[in-house]
Structure 1
Amino acid sequence: MAITMRLGRPAGIDQLVPFEEDPGRPGAGEVLVRVRGSSLNFHDYLVVTGRMPTAVGRIPLSDGAGEIVEVGPPPGDEVDADPSMTLRVGEAVLGTFFRHWREGAPAQWGHAVVAGEHVDGYAREFAVVPVAALTRVPHGLSLAEAATLPCAGLTAWRALGCCGGIRPGDVVLVQGTGGVSVFALQFAKAMGATVVATSSSEGKLERLRALGASHVINYRAEPNWGRAAKRWTGGRGVDHIVDIGGADLLNQSIEACRTGGSIALVGLLAGTSGRVATGRIMAQQVRLQGVVVGSRTDQLEMIRAIESLGVRPVIDSSFQLQELPAAFRRQEAGRHFGKIVVEM
């Protein structure tokens, strides 16, 4: 028997209940994974609190890393595995955010199935997972570190690498100290960019400096932080912005952006709609790109980059599986810097 955390009804952090359940057996094209680590994303918070509805009894958490403990029967001609995996018992594996987005440009079918929302996720000690929804783990990272990558890490990587086309010497602006923003800072610095970072906490601003931010802005002390960022560049504006707010806050990003620059919209912390200065987007010829995580091919590219650039995830805190409600409370309070992980 194994511990599993399931979401009751009505949804809510306090409705996460542990159960002892049979781990199950893998079918054709599947493996049984001993889950060693997961991490919390804003998406997980929306599911657990009921703002993103899911089935009663759903096992949450989209991210997961662990070891193969059993391999199911061969799936015939439908084998679709990461060629760098051996699919042997004991091999370390990492889940993908989207179960069916394997490669190529985004498509509607690629966003149809997300672990922890549409199918059971990784808040459990054992999980039966399709081989096609796994990749290898980056060399040199622990399983807890690897478990921070499938959502936040890949979102940051795709926002800068795939969609932003970042180059050495560019100026990148990141917002806040959540997982995506911290990863974006790390990737940008490792690729030779200069980083401007924002936060409302002086203590967190110092930590952002320690990670490599060249300039930091306290957005409470400087409400028009977009103008402040542009002023710091001598009036030119920043080249790339990773925007986690959306809605009305997007106008601050537009203010900060240079003519011909790019904004990757990766989050909606400030809401799903608002007034946007479309005239300025056109006049400044800003490229605005929505980014929703990425494909398995993108994840493999990110893994190679992490190994080449020497990037290590920043872990804020670690909780045991049965402490999952406390982990979500920390996330809800906004006290974290980097990723909150859950270890099994």
Structure 2
Amino acid sequence: MKAWQLTSFGRENLKLNDISQPTPGPGEALVRIASVSLNYRDKLLSDGTYNPHLQFPITQVADAVGEVVALGPNTTRFQVGDRVVTSYCTRWIDGAPTSKESLYTLGNVIPGALAEYLVLTENALALAPSYLTNDEAAALPCAGLTAWYALVEKGGLTAGQTVLIQGTGGVSLFGLQIASALGANVIVTSSSDDKLARAKALGAHHTINYKTHPEWEDEALALTNKEGVDHILEVVGGPNLARSIKAIKPEGQISIIGIIEGFDATIPLFSVIKQQALIRGISVGPLRALERMLKKFDELELRPVIDSVYSFADAPKAYERLEQGAFGKIVIRVHE
């Protein structure tokens, strides 16, 4: 079968290789991949910043949807013909995390889904919502679950609360859609007025252009009568975290998801103490949370925002688009 594999660090080292088709073992399923979607983490992997000890060659991409075409012995959760999505943290089924959830992930130490077929343990798969297309279903697992786990599972989001969403990437737009659908007031920041207008069309109540308003936290405070926001999806990292702390409401939650502006941050500790703020790192979520999210998406019929779709042969172009900064998810169709 064919698979896009990273043979060394650097996007130019993503190669289309012929490799052996895997066979499912006990408790495993063989999935014929239909579509996959990219995450910022895929860029970090190819850059060498996510896992500098990555073993090559390694098939890339974690998010996928496909059809179960074969089952190994003692595999009971699925049947041949089921349409399934991948679970990012393949060994995190439920409950509190340990220290290795981010290690056993696809495209990292486990062969990823940017291939014609993929074998996974049945506990790393979930049934795909029937109302979604393959392209839409492939967009859900990582970005959708990250936003859901931060806001709903850990944040306890309720109607009437205020959520500040940074940017318009995959996680951010899922956060916007989820928060809006659950009755929250949503503020979105971006450097693009065009993207902010599109965010409003998706349900944002207020928008802030941080290019024209560099001290965006003051704008957020003004929009909340100086009370601050209940939740922040912190996707920028670095020095931006200090601004988030200033914008948060007392006992509000900042979910650290991204590190676009840096892995390290200097934060005003007195402000954290004064606000009694909760700062929590989010690394996607467990299988059970994914299943709960998919059930809620099915009830609400939420559809992910797709930025662009590429053919399997054009996978490198999808990575180029990822570098440019997309509005929503970038999808690669493995099988038309």
TM-score range with shorter-chain normalisation? over 0.9
**Residue 32 of structure 2: aligned partner:** 34
Q: How does 1:70-89 map to 2 (within 5 A)?
A: 70-74=70-74, 81=77, 87-89=78-80
Are 1:342 and 2:332 matched, yes or no?
yes
* C-alpha separation in 1, matches of 2:110 and 2:187: 38
Shift of 1:31: 1.4
Corresponding residue to 1:23 among 13, 21, 27: 21
Q: What corresponds to 2:322 in structure 1?
A: 331
Task: Give 1:256 shift.
Answer: 1.2
Secondary structure of the structure 2 residue equivalent to 1:151: helix
Structure 2 residue aligned with 1:91: 82
1:5·1:16 contact (CA, 8 Å) conserved in 2? yes
Q: Does 1:270 align with 2:261?
A: yes
Q: Which residue of 2 aligns with 1:84?
A: none
CA distance in 2, matches of 1:317, 1:179: 12
Following TM superposition, by how much is the alpha carbon of 1:165 offset from its aligned partner in structure 2, in angstroms? 1.0
**Structure 2 match to 1:101:** 92
CA contact (8 A) 1:65 1:95 kept: yes
Report how far residue 45 of structure 1 moved: 0.9
2:294 is aligned with 1:295: no
Does the 8 A contact of 1:238 with 1:258 survive in 2?
Answer: yes
Q: Does 1:8 align with 2:18?
A: no
CA distance in 2, matches of 1:233, 1:285: 18
The letter for the 2-side match of 1:206 is A
Give the TM-score of the pair, scaled to structure 1: 0.94
Q: Aligned partner of 1:7: which letter? A: L
Offset of residue 51 of structure 1: 2.0
Tell me, yes or no, if structure 1 residue 226 matches structure 2 residue 217. Answer: yes
Q: In structure 1, what residue type is equivalent to 2:47?
A: T
Cα pair 1:247 1:276 within 8 Å, conserved:
no
Decide whether the 8 Å contact of 1:314 with 1:338 is kept in 2: yes
Contact 1:265/1:290, CA 8 A, preserved across alignment:
yes
Alignment of 1:172-211 (within 5 A): 172-211=163-202
Paired AA for residue 90 in structure 1: G
Deviations 1:178-209 (A, max 9, x none): 00000000000000001000100111011011
CA distance in 2 between counterparts of 1:139 and 1:105 reads 29
> Per-residue deviation at 1:213?
0.6
- Of 178-187 and 22-31, the range deviating more from structure 2: 22-31
State the match for 2:65 in structure 1. 65
1:128 to 119, 122, 133: 119
Render the CA deviation track for 1:135-193: whole Å, top value 9, x for unaligned.
11123111221111111000000110011111101111000010000000000000000
Structure 2: gaps (5+ residues): none
Distance 1:109 1:201 in 2: 37
Deviations 1:88-111 (A, max 9, x none): 221101111011100001112434
What letter matches 1:245 in structure 2?
V
The code of the aligned residue for 2:194 comes to G
State the secondary structure of the residue aligned to 1:68: strand
Rounded to whole Å, the distance in 2 between the matches of 1:132 and 1:259 is: 38
Partner deviation per Cα, 1:195-234 (whole Å, 9 max, x = no partner): 0001001110110111011110000000000111111111
* Larger CA deviation: 36-45 vs 107-116: 107-116
1:227 alignment partner AA: D
| 8 Å CA contact retained: 2:131, 2:301 | no
Equivalent in the alignment of 1:55: 55
Give the number of equivalent residue pairs.
Answer: 332
Distance, in Å, in 2 between the alignment partners of 1:109 and 1:288 is 20
Structure 1: gaps (5+ residues): 82-86
Equivalents in 1 of 2:27, 2:200: separation in Å?
Answer: 46
Contact in 2 for aligned 1:32/1:68 (Cα 8 Å): yes
Equivalent residue of 1:217, what SS? Answer: strand
Alpha-carbon contact 1:29-1:130 (below 8 Å) kept: yes
Give the residue type in structure 1 aligned to 2:18: E
Give the letter aligned to residue 68 of structure 1.
V
The percentage of counterpart residues that share the same residue type is 39
Would you say the 8 A contact 1:100–1:112 is kept in 2? Answer: no
Alignment match, 2:42: 44
Q: Is the 8 A contact 2:144 2:171 kept in 1?
A: yes
Equivalent in the alignment of 2:134: 143
